[in-house]
């Protein structure tokens, strides 16, 4: 149903990548305790790969013979999937490589994609082991849908691919500062939010975006042309000017320059208990852009995050919260120091811009 494709052959060969240090450091035990038996019963042959260091998975999938694998499954938080997606996009055969079905099992402290796919399956909310079982079950079913990716350009001209979020200000600070509470699991974000609220600050910057209604429609029978020579490997970002160029006329430039947070998200959940975009789908072709302007009180900001557990934050009537559906955006922080995260991972601080690529990847879901 829902336009999904049953493309994972059975029996299929699955590479399961486990980060033994993610979350509370129990990803491997959780896998053997809860998922292994399910896969065996469903006759899904898999090979377990335990990552030994950061970027191990990225290097591995960059070089792997992908004809050997029908799916790559990540048992960790969102950070390990970020590695895998970027490893695939760094390959010369990226166009084919990124078609490899990707699966996620919640083994980290930030399990936003796992919570999102559980939500897309229209199941009532689940956490911890229950969420793991739900995702394990989806893996056994092997239903594949397309997954939007967002290309993110950094000041150094590097480009990374993102499946979840681009954050600056409050959310990025909580993402990074709460990593030291990883051992307490998913509630590290609530903890981090409370700590950050105590030292709430304003972040200066410029924000501009291309609203969906202004986005040029691709011509119907467009002939595929090769990208201009300056384009890095991977799909061209046709909607983006160079970071040193002004944004086009069709873009909206936000008048405010004092923010508490800017968050671009393209899945329903930012964390297991943060239902940020109730209507989002893995392949809606949208960047859901949220920003909160300066002047919001601490209680009002806390109220937004608490309401987000039930996806009710937009109904709070908070005048500082703005939500737009966009195709592309640019953010230019003016504060000399700060943090920007992509999929919860810290990236280079400075001007960034982002561009949606609808359905570029594929995800085991539903
Ligand atoms: P969590 O949700 O707990 O943060 P992640 O999957 O996001 O879990 O992983 C956290 C970080 O650990 C990521 O930056 C990831 O790239 C990195 N990583 C992956 N494998 C390892 C490993 N074996 N040792 C240390 N770090 C790793
Ligand atoms: Mg993480």
CA 197 to chain centre: 24
Atom of ligand 1 nearest to the CA of 23: 3
- pLDDT number for residue 343: 98
How is residue 81 written in tokens?
Answer: 């999937």
Catalytic residue check, 78:
yes
SS3 180: helix
Look up residue 108 and give its DSSP letter: S
Mutate to test the pocket of ligand 1, among 18, 78, 80, 106 (most ligand atoms within 8 A of CB): 80
CA 310 to chain centre: 20
Question: What are the residue ranges of helices labelled H in the chain?
Answer: 27-30, 36-41, 56-63, 78-89, 94-97, 112-120, 128-141, 170-177, 188-198, 298-308
Per the document, the length of the chain is: 366
The residues, ordered by sequence, that sit 6+ positions from 327 with a Cβ below 8 Å of its Cβ are: 210, 211, 212, 215, 239, 285, 286, 287, 355, 356
**Among 65, 70, 78, 244, which one carries the catalytic annotation?**
78
CA 239 to chain centre: 20
Which protein residue's CA is at the shortest distance from atom 26 of ligand 1?
A: 54
CA pseudo-torsion sign 64, 65, 66, 69: negative
- pLDDT number for residue 214: 79
The CA 252 to ligand 2 mean position distance, Å, reads 32
Contact 105, 135 (CB under 8 A): yes
Nearest to 326 by CA among 362, 356, 298: 356
Alpha-carbon dihedral 354, 114, 123, 34, rounded to 10 degrees: 170
Residue-by-residue DSSP string for 9-57: -SS--EEEEE-TTSTTT-HHHHIIIIIHHHHHHTT--EEEEE--STTHH
How many Cβ atoms are within 10 Å of 338's Cβ, its own excluded? 17
Which protein residue's CA is at the shortest distance from atom 11 of ligand 1?
A: 79
Residue 89, burial from CB neighbour count under 10 angstroms (0-12, 13-18, 19+) = buried
Task: Compute the distance between CA of residue 256 and CA of residue 265 in angstroms, rounded to an integer.
Answer: 20
Q: Which ligand is nearest to the CA of 84?
A: 1
Contact 335, 301 (CB under 8 A): no
Task: Compute the distance between CA of residue 199 and CA of residue 304 in angstroms, rounded to an integer.
Answer: 17
- pLDDT number for residue 221: 56
How is residue 231 written in tokens?
Answer: 């384009």
Q: Kind of pairing, strands 252-253 and 274-275? A: unpaired
Q: What share of the chain is helix, strand, coil (3-state, %, to 5)?
A: 30, 30, 40
Contact 349, 340 (CB under 8 A): yes
Q: What angle do CA 182, 187, 189 make, to 5 degrees?
A: 80
Q: How does pLDDT run along the chain (366 residues), one tens digit per residue?
A: 344 445 555 557 999 999 999 999 999 999 999 999 999 999 999 999 999 999 999 999 999 999 999 999 999 999 999 999 999 999 999 999 999 999 999 999 999 999 999 999 999 999 999 999 999 999 999 999 999 999 999 999 999 999 999 999 999 999 999 999 989 988 899 999 999 999 999 999 999 999 998 777 665 654 444 444 455 689 999 999 999 999 999 999 999 999 999 999 999 999 999 999 999 999 999 999 999 999 999 999 999 999 999 999 999 999 999 999 999 999 999 988 999 999 999 999 999 999 999 999 999 998
- pLDDT number for residue 228: 46
Tokens 């390990």 identify what position? 80
Mutate to test the pocket of ligand 1, among 52, 60, 79, 189 (most ligand atoms within 8 A of CB): 79
**Which residues, by Cβ under 5 Å, contact ligand 2, an ion?**
77, 79, 110, 344
Kindly list the structural domains of the chain, giving each domain's residue range(s) and its CATH number in brackets, ordered by start. 14-148 (3.40.50.10330), 152-359 (2.60.200.40)
- pLDDT number for residue 225: 46
Q: Kind of pairing, strands 71-76 and 102-106? A: parallel
């Amino acid at each position: 149903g829902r336009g999904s494709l049953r493309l994972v052959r059975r029996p299929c060969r699955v590479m399961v990548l486990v980060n033994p240090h993610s979350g509370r450091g129990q990803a491997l035990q959780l896998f053997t305790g809860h998922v292994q038996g399910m896969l065996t019963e469903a006759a899904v042959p898999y090979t377990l790969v335990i990552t030994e260091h950061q970027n191990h998975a990225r290097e591995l999938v960059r070089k792997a013979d992908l004809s050997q694998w029908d799916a790559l499954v990540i048992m960790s938080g969102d950070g390990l999937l970020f590695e895998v997606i970027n490893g695939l996009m760094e390959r010369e055969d990226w166009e084919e490589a990124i078609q490899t079905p990707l699966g996620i099992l919640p083994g980290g402290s930030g399990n936003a994609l796992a919570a999102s796919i559980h939500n897309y399956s229209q199941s009532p909310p689940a956490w911890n082991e229950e969420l793991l079982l739900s995702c394990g079950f989806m893996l056994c079913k092997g239903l594949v849908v397309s997954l939007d990716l967002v290309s993110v350009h950094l000041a150094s001209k590097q480009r990374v691919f993102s499946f979840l979020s681009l954050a600056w200000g409050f959310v990025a600070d909580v993402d990074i500062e709460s990593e030291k509470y990883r051992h307490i699991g998913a509630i590290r974000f609530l903890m981090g939010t409370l700590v950050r609220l105590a030292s709430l600050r304003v972040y200066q910057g410029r924000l501009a975006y291309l609203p969906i209604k202004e986005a040029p429609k691709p011509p119907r029978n467009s002939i595929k042309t090769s990208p201009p020579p300056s384009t890095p490997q991977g799909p061209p970002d046709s909607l983006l000017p160079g970071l040193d160029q002004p944004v086009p006329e069709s873009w909206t430039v936000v008048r405010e320059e004092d923010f508490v947070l800017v968050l671009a998200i393209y899945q329903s959940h930012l964390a297991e208990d943060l239902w940020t975009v109730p209507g989002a789908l893995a392949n809606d072709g949208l960047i859901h852009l949220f920003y909160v302007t300066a002047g919001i009180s601490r209680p009002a900001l806390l109220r937004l995050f608490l309401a987000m557990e039930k996806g009710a934050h937009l109904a709070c009537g908070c005048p500082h919260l703005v939500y737009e559906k966009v195709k592309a955006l640019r953010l230019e922080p003016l504060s000399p120091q700060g943090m920007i995260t992509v999929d919860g991972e810290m990236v280079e601080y400075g001007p960034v811009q982002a561009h949606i690529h609808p359905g570029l990847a594929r995800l085991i879901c539903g």
